[in-house]
Structure formats: C-alpha cells, structure tokens
Amino acid sequence: MSESASTVRSEILDVPRERWPHHIAVIMDGNGRWAEAQGLPRIEGHRRGVASVRRTVEECSRLGIEQLTLYCLSSENWKRPRGELDFLMRLLEQYMIEERATILAQNIQASVIGRREGIPANALREMDRTVELSAKNTGLRLCLAINYGGRAELVDAVRRIAREVLQGNLAADEIDERVISSRLYTAGMPEPDLLIRTAGEMRVSNFLLWQISYAELWVTEAFWPEFAEAHLHRAIRDFASRDRRFGGLRGSCG
C-alpha cells in the first residue's frame, strides 16, 4: 500500500464506526477511456480494472465493511464490439478462478446478481463454483452485478409477483415495498448506504434503481483503473460527514 493510502486510512480511524457505511455499491466506470488516454487498447483498461477490483475488495474486507456490490457488466454492455465482449467474458472466468483462493482465505462470501443469458457456460461454471464454495463465509459480502440492469430486475420481480398472484399464493392487496424487495435479485441484502461512481459521470446508469433510493452518492474524476484505497477512504469519510435525514428534518427521528 502506498504511503498516501496508509495516511488516509489512519485519518478515517477517527471517524466513529457507527458513521461508516454498511453497504458500499460501486459503478466502475472509465476502463476504456483510461486505456485510450494512455495510448493502450481498450481491453487493457479492463485488465487494469481487475487490479482495482482486487484492491477495493481487499480493503473493504480489512475495514470490516458489511457488503460491497460492484457493477461489473451492464445488460446494455452487450452493444459493445464482439471482440471486447469476448475478452470481458474471458476476464470474468479468469477472475473467478484466480481470486477464488483469496476470497476463501479472507472469509468473503461471494454472490452474483443479474440475468444468466448470454454469459458463456465456462464463465457461469466458475461463477457458480466460487459462490458455492464461499456460501458459508461470514466476512465481507461481495456481490457482483453481471449482465445486470435495474429495470430488468424490476421486470423480473413484477413477473414473479404476478405469477404468485395468479397461482393464488399472494393477494394483490398484500403487495407492498417489503414484498417487492423480497422478489428482487438482492433479496436479503441490506440496501446500499453509499454509491460510488468513477470517471466523473453524474448518473446511476440503471444500477440498483430500487435499492439506492436513499443512498449517498460520491463521484470521483478518477477512472476505475486509477481507483485506489485512498479514494475509498475519502468516500467513507465524506459519507460519515453527511446528515442523512431520509426525508425528515435535521435532528428529527423520522
């Protein structure tokens, strides 16, 4: 770890633990633009982005963050060139194999959300293997959003609820926020407290649309391959300084 990262880590130690986020979600943006700025092929940006994933996962685990959700592949990303998509699928398979030992050694519980259609069988097999082997781990919950779209998730939840109503297992009047939440891909997970976005983009890009209703947003100009422990620490410190009222007034209980 760099000296600056160590310094920032020491700075967040004075932030009361109860002010830290429990669940951090990250939109990892800017791999291709970073590579182009360096005069490198876009795929090299994705390769370097894996190193940022590793740093972020390991640091969240060391810090005792409850859950980290990473937006790895959007359902809209299938519009990219075939060669880039093939590389991303190979990279996904490679990540699941190479990081498995670290995930298990650090007591990380891995999960994957998103639709499985379109993902090669080899990558699916390695994803499922990592999820299965880490299922009983009790440390950081690492959720990877792969072939994920927030609208698609809501469509799938509505279809599931509609089937339950048609089958007589659920009454229409029983449908409330709790019912909808329990039919999402993220059922059983805490909602994100903090949403980090890299590359300076000021949008949520169809990510966790239901779940981030009250999340705090933190945007950095750094491209994802540049994202380091220091950025994570600054995001946590900034989050801890905010007054989260959830629709109430300052100092109110509601």
Residue pLDDT, tens place only, 151-196: 999 999 999 999 999 999 999 999 999 999 999 999 999 999 999 9
Residue 5 has pLDDT above 60, yes or no: no
Complete domains list, the chain, with CATH: 21-149+191-214 (3.40.1180.10)
Asked whether 15 and 240 are in contact (CB, 8 A), the reply is yes
Please give the sequence-ordered ranges of beta strands (E in DSSP) within 30-182, or none if there are none: 67-74, 109-113, 141-148
Question: What is the SS3 assignment for 150-173?
Answer: HHHHHHHHHHHHHHHHHCCCCCHH
The share of the chain scoring above pLDDT 70, in percent, equals 92
Average pLDDT, integer, range 205-215: 97
pLDDT of 47 over the 50 cut:
yes
Whether pLDDT at 231 is above 70: yes
Q: Amino acid letter at 140?
A: L
pLDDT recorded at residue 80: 87
Tokens, residue 252: 């109110």
* Tokens standing for residue 47: 């390769």
Query: Mean of the pLDDT values across residues 227-245?
Result: 94
Query: What does the pLDDT read at residue 3?
Result: 42
Mind listing the pLDDT tens digit for each residue in 108-123? 999 999 999 999 999 9
State how far the alpha carbon of 56 is from the alpha carbons of 90, 137, 242, in Å.
Answer: 21, 18, 22
pLDDT surpasses 90 at 6: no
Low-confidence winner among 7-11, 65-69, 193-197, 214-218 (lowest mean pLDDT): 7-11
Q: What is the mean pLDDT of residues 33-41?
A: 96
**Could you tell me the two tokens for 210?**
């239901």
Residue 137, pLDDT > 70, answer yes
Residues carrying an active site annotation: 29, 77
Structure tokens at 86: 């093939």
Please determine, for residue 242, whether its predicted confidence score (pLDDT) is greater than 90: yes
